[in-house]
């Protein structure tokens, strides 16, 4: 577990280069706004679990799952309530604090996905599946995005899956994802235009990719 003060934002770096673009590390009020926004949406009965429903379909029962870039824990919390063993990781201590408060059924850790090594946190067992939901990859500095894919994939068992959401025309795109797959030992299994599995089209605004780890991590 991290011994950092969860109320003091930090900007993770790798050498002299920042690894994250998440604004909450410089502005804690942004993180508090983000937490309050999703709490309000949940109170109003909005559907916030489309991503985690897909992960549940892909996973065996009582799977070990990684919620990478978990934010305040809405996806990992839902998967934990469904009976899965969930570990969530996010770079923002304030978001992890909210996840621990709102979703106590999972394990929540502060960590930078660009340097992810969960064995150092006592989480050495491989995962059956992992999720990079929403626009998580857009908040990773461009020079570190391929490394995040490699790091997350390295925590999967052979045959484990990774589900990644990304924009099509800006930020982290399907082309960026596809370029990162060989070094991560991942193969594209399915691609959809939405989390509820509408067919993939080249003119779609969003992309959901189901990847499978079929090669050793390099």
- Asked if residue 59 lies in contact with residue 120, where contact means CB atoms within 8 angstroms, the answer is no
Would you call 186 helix, strand, or coil by DSSP? strand
Question: What number is the average pLDDT over the span 59-71?
Answer: 97
Q: Which residue segments constitute the domains of the chain, with CATH numbers given? A: 19-213 (3.40.50.150)
- Asked if residue 139 lies in contact with residue 21, where contact means CB atoms within 8 angstroms, the answer is yes
Question: What number is the average pLDDT over the span 99-103?
Answer: 96
Confidence of residue 134 (pLDDT cuts 50, 70, 90): confident
Distance CA 76, CA 80 (A): 6
Residue pLDDT, tens place only, 6-19: 443 344 765 556 89
Q: What is the mean pLDDT of the chain?
A: 90
Residue pLDDT, tens place only, 162-196: 999 999 988 899 999 999 999 999 999 999 999 99
**Amino acid 4: pLDDT:** 39
**Amino acid 3: pLDDT:** 41
- Asked if residue 213 lies in contact with residue 150, where contact means CB atoms within 8 angstroms, the answer is no
More confident residue, 151 or 170: 151
Distance CA 15, CA 164 (A): 27
């Amino acid at each position: 577990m991290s011994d950092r003060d969860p109320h003091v934002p930090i900007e993770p770096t790798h050498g002299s280069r920042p690894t994250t673009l998440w604004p909450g590390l410089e502005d804690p009020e942004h993180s508090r706004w983000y937490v309050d926004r999703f709490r309000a949406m949940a109170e109003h009965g909005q559907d916030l679990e489309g991503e985690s429903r897909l992960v549940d379909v892909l996973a065996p029962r009582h799977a070990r799952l990684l919620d990478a870039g978990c934010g305040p824990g809405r996806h990992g919390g839902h998967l934990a309530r469904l009976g899965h063993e969930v570990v969530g990781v996010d770079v923002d201590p304030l978001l992890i604090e909210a996840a621990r408060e709102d979703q106590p059924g999972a394990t929540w850790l502060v960590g930078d996905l660009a340097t992810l090594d969960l064995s150092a946190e006592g989480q050495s067992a491989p995962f059956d599946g992992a999720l990079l939901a929403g626009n998580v990859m857009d908040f990773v500095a461009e020079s570190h995005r391929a490394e995040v894919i490699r790091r997350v994939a390295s925590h999967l068992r052979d045959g484990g899956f990774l589900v990644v959401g990304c924009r099509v025309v800006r930020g982290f795109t399907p082309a960026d994802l596809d370029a990162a797959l060989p070094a991560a030992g991942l193969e594209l299994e399915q691609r959809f235009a939405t989390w509820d599995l509408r067919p993939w089209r080249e003119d779609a605004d969003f992309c959901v990719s189901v990847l499978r780890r079929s090669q050793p991590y390099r």
